[in-house]
Chain A
Amino acid sequence: MAEVQAAFLETKSRRITKPRSFKRIVKPLILYPLMIITALLCLGPFLWLLSTSLKTNANVFAFPPQFIPRPISFNNYIKVFEFMPLWHHIYNTVLISGMGVALNLITCLLMAYPLARIQFPGRNTIFVAMISTLILPNAAGMIVHFVTIQKFGLYNTYLGVVLPAAVSVFNVFLLRQAFITIPNEMEQSARIDGAGEFRIFWNIMVPMVRPAIATVVIFDFLNFWNSFIWPVVVLSDKEKYPLAPALQYLQSDFSFNFPYIAAGTIISIIPIIIVFLFLQKQFINGMVGAVKG
């Protein structure tokens, strides 16, 4: 189905850009400047951070600012790595994010599938309860989570960091929507071939919702990667901190150094951009599936 869709998009866009020589010249002439201006507006603060992080020993607050650093120096990056065991924190973050995304994906997939395709008693109740959680307040959420994690004996463990976010209502909705759009015929023919329920789910249905999975992975990865309060609450050893809380140490009164903060921020953003680059196409298709259903 995803392939069909991709093929459809392919032919469609080919049709749009069908070469008419006038269009071929004028369209880029209008579109490129527009896209570049928008990109500059979006990237502005990010570029400024990047440029600051590459400056050396200059006044980063100087006005008017120096936009392109001269000379370009990676000194701040090296210094940040010396200031704190950054590789270690990156490793922790990858571990936490990986674990969190995997757990979340599995529980949400398992939960979304029956909610989408099997009529069972209690289904609507679960569904309405889930919707209501999007609206009801959660004032004591963090405290209740902490008490629970502690009762489970998970204080100061990575599992304690990821477990409260190991299932997400939003993701279940998203995946459920994707499962709903799969035509019934696929399931029927598999059943005739003698496939069991779980095999239908795992070998046939899950591959069909790959785009939606990409969407879930990106959002989840983003959340786990950037969360900075909860890991501090659950973890008691600083050595276990992921990147985001560790970077906060750069901002204390005694060590506030803006080029370091800039370098640290850039380091923390790059992995997300890479994940996004890889999953971008799937991500877009995933959103189509989620809303169209």
Chain B
Amino acid sequence: MLSKLNRNRLRFAYLMIIPGFMLMAVFVFYPILYGLPLAFTNYSVVDEMKWVGWKNFDRAFKDPIFIKSIWNSLIYLIVVPIIQLISILMAILVNNRLRGVQFFRVAYFVPVVTSMVAAAIAWRWMFQGNGILNYLLQSAGLIGKPISYLAEADVALFAIMCVTVWKGLGYYMMIYLAGLQSIPSEMQEAARIDGAGRAKVIWYITIPLLKPFVLLCSLISMMSAIRVFDEVYVMTAPLPGAPFNATMTSAVYTYEKAFRDFDFGYAAALGLIVSLIVMVISIIMFKYGRKGGMSYYG
């Protein structure tokens, strides 16, 4: 038997949950549930819909551009460790009490809030054959001939990754900054007194203590990296994935299929395949992360 208090609490709990849950049911759960079976149809919005069974999946596994886009999405995961490393260093840099440090924190956050369209215009300009990047690298004697970063098939994807890294650093820096401020400073102090150098303290004390934050950030950035869309779309306009699909990522391809070709059934199938991949990677990361004895959710 439930006590009166408990019954009260239960009623209260359900009352609280209801508004959010209803909204979630309509705008989060329902679209997903509605979208899943579309993968087995030729849904195109404008035309009659037919059940096509596994045809879309067959087509996907034989679609060289889709396979290429999956590879590119996986390659894109390179940004995950890079972002973590740089943003941790940035967080350490601004985790001090010097005058004006607030200003720098905000400055580092500016790329996060800058619209992608504006950022792309600036970055494309820098990446051009006669752009400022080549100018700097050539004056420094690092490269001989100018590189057309966005036209060379072997370089373009990495050039776009730079934009992702640039735009993401501030966001993750904030999370790591939060992490740093939650670490009791006694440990670092003690190590310092024991004569450990600054770099050693960072590497052996600070970063291990940040581990929960690293796992959280890695998960977030992994999920957004594998579904990267904005950067690729605006940096390669007017031909998404240019040159010749060398920068085509799965999200861009899915979008193209849905909204350019009105091939929603196929797009839904592609989305499902990508989700499976994301799920596998998430599970691996969680298993690996848990090994260190950390837990997040509750």
Contact = CB atoms under 8 A, between A and B. Distances in A.
The reply to whether A and B meet directly (CB within 8 Å) is yes
Contact of A135 (B97, B213, B278): B278
A44 interface: yes
Contacts, number: 232
Contact of A273 (B14, B102, B106): B106
B57 interface: no
B182 A169 contact: no
A283 B135 CA distance: 39
B138 interface: no
A25 B282 CA distance: 46
B183 to A, nearest CB: 9
Contact of B298 (A133, A139, A180, A258): A180
Interface string A18-37: 00000000011001101100
Nearest to A65: B132
B154 to A, nearest CB: 24
Contacts of B203: none
Interface in B128-157: 130, 132, 135
Contact of B10 (A42, A118, A169): A118
Nearest to A292: B182
Contacts of B98: 27-28, 31-32
A108 B13 contact: no
A15 B108 contact: no
Interface of B: 8-10, 12-14, 16-17, 19-21, 23-24, 26-32, 34-36, 38-39, 43, 45, 90, 93-94, 96-98, 101-102, 104-115, 117-119, 121-123, 125-126, 130, 132, 135, 166, 169-170, 174-175, 177-179, 181-182, 184-185, 189, 212-213, 216, 223, 254, 258, 264, 267-268, 270-272, 274-275, 278-279, 282, 296-298
The 9 closest A-B pairs by CB, nearest first: A137-B271, A45-B122, A111-B20, A287-B178, A114-B13, A144-B31, A107-B20, A139-B268, A140-B35
26 contacts: A13-B97, A13-B185, A27-B98, A31-B96, A32-B98, A42-B111, A45-B119, A113-B16, A118-B10, A120-B10, A137-B271, A138-B32, A138-B271, A145-B27, A145-B31, A169-B24, A180-B298, A258-B121, A262-B118, A268-B115, A269-B115, A284-B174, A287-B178, A288-B178, A288-B179, A292-B182
